[in-house]
Chains A and B, each alone.
Chain A
């Protein structure tokens, strides 16, 4: 009896998403412009960095190509996550809480997590994914990655792990709004801050910052550690040799913790009474 219910859930989810997609494609010109601007802003940041590198050559022992590898990979996964987990974006989720539409979702006989996930699907975030792909390709070709079967197999694992990791942080941020009603801007430190931070090698940050993003939020294993393996880089932090392969485990652990917190949050939810 479990399989049909899963299939049913997937069907409902796809239906919710397809409504979103059709709605957003109603104004095609505006949509294309939205996708382009999503991408262009991030590309501008990268172009600025490329020009700066003409003067500086490297950052903490990492070349431009290696930085582009880190940067592109995290942009691809963050962009994809931002699209899939749009419903859990704390800013938009908090509106559900504020106007009381979350109560409506609770009344429907469909899994609540699925509904929130399907409540928003911002396809213009594809722009961020696409520019991530461009930066990643530049990174791979400049840094001349020595591809092995292991690396080719592990790359998609890291990509999916990063999506789940940031998705987990979005769920955490949204759950907090059960208590705070308004979204808490400081959560951005973990989500947008985490993605910006992991676009650079973690070895450049002061120890207190790095420790926070290792032991409290395990972002160290998200991008930096696997990149050491992909790029055959020596590690000034002297992480254990299995550290590059912790990425899926830390991400799944974080997502599980977030979902547990989410469940507790729902039980405590009382509504804003509007």
Chain B
């Protein structure tokens, strides 16, 4: 356990040291968020509420999703893939650690740093431009906290799985880009899932992607609360465990075919 803690801590500290990159990333996320907010405001026009989401909720939605970009590495995560192509995967596999947990510890460190450096400041910046909604009920906050952790875990397991493609092909970037694009589409990152036709939402709910973003959004905005939100947490947990299982199986198969490049 101690070694995982060290991996986590080092990764957290490393993310903290990228000061200019963090600030630049924050500004970029903020700018795109304001663009997306303008689009939603124009879409609402004179409407006050659309399928349970108020105009203020919709603007808040753009802020929260932008705040999640760095936390969940939404635009792609290629660390494991790169380690395969550079050959350092050999060293990682030799470590007396579980390969999945090693990467999880590393990614948790990065993501926690991003939560405080990119997520929270982004919402504060947002609040300067728009009166965004901030949850304040203790039980809602507790559920939100759990949802954030579970979405991180689910998202990590998905990214880990996508990166494992590198064990089979020398150029898995295309697969990765497609996989990450698919997750934007089905997770509610592009638009809240509630805005989509019902048949589409039903399809999306058969995938792990809503558990990565949409659950956080709906709990944050208070669109689902009480027993419904607990059920959403349960769904997140089930998807996480399911994905972990798939990851282990695929990893096992991948280790047989892996050819270490470079050296």
Contact = CB atoms under 8 A, between A and B. Distances in A.
A30 B168 CA distance: 13
B38 to A, nearest CB: 5
B24 A56 contact: no
Given A38-B177, A41-B178, A185-B25, 13 more contacts: A30-B171, A30-B174, A33-B175, A34-B171, A36-B178, A44-B190, A52-B191, A55-B195, A186-B24, A188-B28, A196-B32, A204-B38, A205-B38
A206 interface: yes
Top 4 nearest A-B pairs by Cβ distance? A41-B181, A204-B42, A185-B24, A33-B174
A22 B31 CA distance: 38
B21 interface: yes
B77 interface: no
Contacts of B51: 55
Contacts of B43: 52, 56, 59
Interface string A163-193: 0000000000000000000101110110001
Contacts of B255: none
A245 to B, nearest CB: 26
A41 B177 contact: yes
Contact of A52 (B34, B182, B196): B196
B7 interface: no
Interface of A: 27, 30, 33-34, 36-38, 40-41, 44-45, 47-49, 51-52, 54-56, 58-60, 182, 184-186, 188-189, 193, 196-197, 200, 204-206, 209
Contacts of A37: 174-175, 177-178, 181
23 contacts: A37-B181, A38-B177, A41-B181, A41-B184, A44-B181, A44-B184, A44-B185, A48-B185, A48-B191, A51-B197, A55-B195, A56-B50, A184-B24, A186-B24, A188-B28, A189-B28, A193-B28, A193-B32, A196-B35, A204-B38, A204-B39, A206-B38, A209-B34
Contacts of A55: 50-51, 195
B26 to A, nearest CB: 9
Contacts of B197: 51, 54
A49 B20 CA distance: 34
B195 A52 contact: yes
B42 A186 contact: no
B190 A40 contact: no
Interface in B190-216: 190-191, 195-197, 200
A181 to B, nearest CB: 11
